[in-house]
Chains A and B, each alone.
Chain A
Amino acid sequence: MSHPHEAAEFLKDPAKSKWHDETLWFIRDKRDKMSHTVPEWEELRELASTIKDNVLGNLADYLEEFEQNAIKNGVQIHWAKDAEEHNEIVLSILRKKDCTAIVKSKSILTEECHLNPFLEKHGVEVVDTDLGERIVQFLNQPPSHIVLPAIHLKKREISELFHEKLNTEKGNEDPYYLTQAARHHLREKFLAAKVAITGVNFGVAETGEFVVCTNEGNADMGAHLADTHIASMGIEKIIPERKHLAVFLRLLARSATGQNITNYNSHFRSPEKGKEIHIILVDNGRTAQLGRENFRNSLKCIRCGACMNTCPIYRRSGGFSYKSTVPGPIGSILSPGLDLKKHSSLPFASTLCGSCTDVCPVKINIHEQLYLWRQEVTKAQGTSLKGLSMKMGNGIFKSPLSYNYSGKIMRLALKNLPTSMIYNPLNVWGKQRDLPPVPKESFKEWYQKNRK
């Protein structure tokens, strides 16, 4: 399914899509205000971007350094070349621990690997412990935003869902009440879990430690209460030295939600006495993206979601319209690298306004890469419908006679044809938009009359 088709689904509820649009813009605005309180903001973005340049140029060395240090710290390291291998490694650890129920905090990588359905198929209960993720998990939906997983839902829907799943009062939509109900439900799960899975925000080559950032504290509740902590980490999450964390932690939460810092920033270096930590280093297409010169620096992404909050298309089409684990502008440059055919409409889901590039904390040239992916898509797919109309346009503009003539016909036609014929399915531009009023004459005609 193409992005425009899916977006049309989202727009069927105009009140909700307007709320979605305005709410994300509000977060973008908070990000602006917060970034303006840091005088060196632009310098920090540049630093973050150049640190990541250094990482991408030396990735193999840093991964080996990270591995050696982690092993010294008593952490077990696993390598997975793809999603399947990642999931198998997780399952084998669970089998060894005789574990059939796990708690998991937010990890976009495990979404990318479709870990939940895999584990459920093998009889493991997976409980997502981030509130937004638990909500969408109850609905059998993926997250619609990487930082705000349930941003596509209204509290009325969540209230109904919790009434059904957690036995909350019917009709009680109070966010505090609903959050407390989830807190009690999740506490039971935390206290019972033997294995916890988390994502990784940053892995430090110099020390072998990794950092996980949350506001809810759910990653820590899971990891510290369980005997075994499995951390799934994309190989691009590496940074060289501990002091570089300062640069990234100053940028991450301010870009993501407009807060100074996330309330919990946990540095895991070695397991607590009697416990285990496993890190799974996952490729799953990242080395292929590293080999694509034009798209390489999409791997700098720190998953703040700022490009989604600012994007005029994302805000008005919702995360599900992208049909990709990471939606929005950054997803539209990452996903075509994984499956060009499936995601071929995503590079076109953009106005190329460049706002994503302007807010990106690691200065990824997102809109330029969208433009370059369009060329890759066209190369791979040949002529599209848009290509046809461009060819027609080329014919019309080539000859002055045909240009004059078709202009006249169009003005006449638009004035006299019934609306249903003008706003037909072929006129994609006329969807949700009115055509401008038709002028009486062309500029050339006006000029000839008035400038004689």
Chain B
Amino acid sequence: MSSREHILEKIRVLKLDQKPIPTIPDFGINEDLQERFRASISSNKGEMITAEALIFKIESGLFPNVFSTVSDFADFTNQPLPEDSHAFANLDLAILRGQFGVAENGAIWLEDADLKFRAIPFITEHLVVVLDKNELVPTMHQAYDRIGNAASGFGLFIAGPSKTADIEQSLVIGAQGAKSLMVVLI
């Protein structure tokens, strides 16, 4: 007998009671979505930033290597999309478009089509996610309703920069992934 059959058989002989799947009620929040979303991003140690402020930062030379999939910032792209994501090891700034944001926790949904390479939001030194301010949902329940049956090979809720508190519980922003997350609502 294969291990697969062995495991499934060990479960089936138990003949456990089948209990129904509960229905999830319609949970929401009674707050202004944009206000709550901004507060969530800042509590996750991300930063809300205006398009003008971002442009100023880029123009001041803070990020030498820039890649953008967002047309509004396409002019700043000076790194072509490589064959392999390892070539982005020295990328300073990636600008990506998020599909929608979740007000209760600041999570922003992106899929393969928004990412080009799955590694980009992690390998880049700094990350900007651009989001339509009308594309906010209250909680994770509405978020999964919204995703529905979409079948991207990879999907990601990103809520802040890479962070850790593994040394004496001191919060450090910039662990293994992007050292900052800036969110532009347009």
Contacts and interface: CB of A to CB of B under 8 A. Distances in A.
A149 B140 CA distance: 28
Contacts of A262: 159
A230 interface: no
B3 A216 contact: no
B62 interface: no
B44 interface: yes
A183 B174 contact: yes
A231 interface: no
A23 interface: yes
Number of chain A interface residues as a range: 35 or more
A217 B122 contact: yes
Interface in B19-77: 19-22, 24-25, 27, 40, 43-44
Nearest to B104: A260
A272 B104 CA distance: 30
Contact of A263 (B8, B104, B158): B158
Contact of A80 (B3, B139, B145): B3
A42 B133 CA distance: 31
A297 to B, nearest CB: 11
Interface in B149-170: 151-170
A287 B10 contact: yes
Given A215-B164, A245-B140, A225 B159 contact: no
A269 B151 contact: yes
Nearest to A59: B11
A348 interface: no
Contact of A216 (B19, B86, B158, B177): B177
B85 A225 contact: yes
B44 A57 contact: no
B2 A79 contact: yes
Number of chain B interface residues as a range: 35 or more
B107 interface: yes
Interface in B121-150: 121-123, 139-141, 143-145, 147
Contact of B12 (A26, A60, A266): A60
A130 B166 CA distance: 9
B176 interface: yes
Contacts of A246: 24, 139-141, 143-144
B7 interface: yes
A262 B40 CA distance: 12
B140 A266 contact: no
Contact of B44 (A64, A179, A263, A269): A263
Contacts of A240: 21
Contact of A79 (B7, B143, B176, B181): B7
Contacts of B104: 38, 250, 260
Contacts of B143: 246
B81 interface: no
Contacts of A261: 44, 105-107, 140, 157, 159
A155 to B, nearest CB: 5
B89 interface: yes
Given A53-B19, A264-B177, A271-B153, A175 B167 contact: yes
A57 B175 contact: no
Contact of A215 (B21, B163, B169): B163
Contacts of A11: none
B175 A183 contact: yes
A291 B16 CA distance: 9
Interface string A240-280: 11111111011000000101111111111111100000000
A81 B11 contact: no
A159 to B, nearest CB: 9
B7 A23 contact: no
20 contacts: A50-B19, A60-B8, A60-B12, A135-B166, A150-B167, A155-B170, A179-B172, A183-B175, A217-B178, A244-B24, A246-B141, A249-B157, A260-B40, A261-B105, A264-B158, A264-B177, A265-B158, A267-B157, A272-B117, A272-B153
Given A59-B16, A259-B44, 7 more contacts: A60-B11, A221-B177, A257-B165, A260-B44, A262-B159, A265-B158, A281-B7
